[in-house]
Homo-oligomer: A and B are copies of this chain.
Amino acid sequence: MVPFCVYLQRDGFNQNPLFECLVAQVPEGSQSKEGFTIVGYALYFDIYSTWKGRSMYLEDFYVMPEFRGFGIGKSLLSTVGKVAKEKQCARLQLRVLDGNTPSRDFYAARGAQDLTVNEGWHMIRFDGPDLERLAKETH
């Protein structure tokens, strides 16, 4: 079994990376009991809208629980927004779970629209075996 980080390294750290990532780092004096200095991250990549052009998707967004409440998430998110503007992205998209009220409020407070509530969009996914079957339907 290949460790997970090998894939991340292969896919994100090459000439044509499939994603980019921002990390939140604290000075050594503020590190966690376990010695972490990277305490949060935001991982994103380019997507495209035929209506609006280049856009950005925030795939992963995380701050370690013991470092929440200090504005690290706010800072990471607004930096992602800044990178998106610099890359001339028209939109920043992401997803959130229905029951995750703190996150839903967090995004809404910053002006994000909930396209599932407002417009009725559903996320659909073909996973491994379904995708395999779909691909075999071609003739």
Binding site for B on A (CB under 8 A): 7-8, 11, 16, 18-19, 43, 45-50, 53-54, 57, 59-60, 74-75, 77-79, 81-82, 84-85, 89-99, 104, 107, 110-117, 119-138
Residue among B60, B120, B124 making CB contact with A112, cutoff 8 Å: B124
- Contacts of A82 on B, CB cut-off 8 Å? 135, 138
A interface, by DSSP: helix, strand, loop or mixed? mixed
- Contacts of A129 on B, CB cut-off 8 Å? 111
- CA A49 – CA B95 in complex, angstroms? 13
Measured CB to CB, the nearest residue on chain B to A57 is B47
- Distance (whole angstroms) from the CB of A55 to the closest CB of chain B: 9
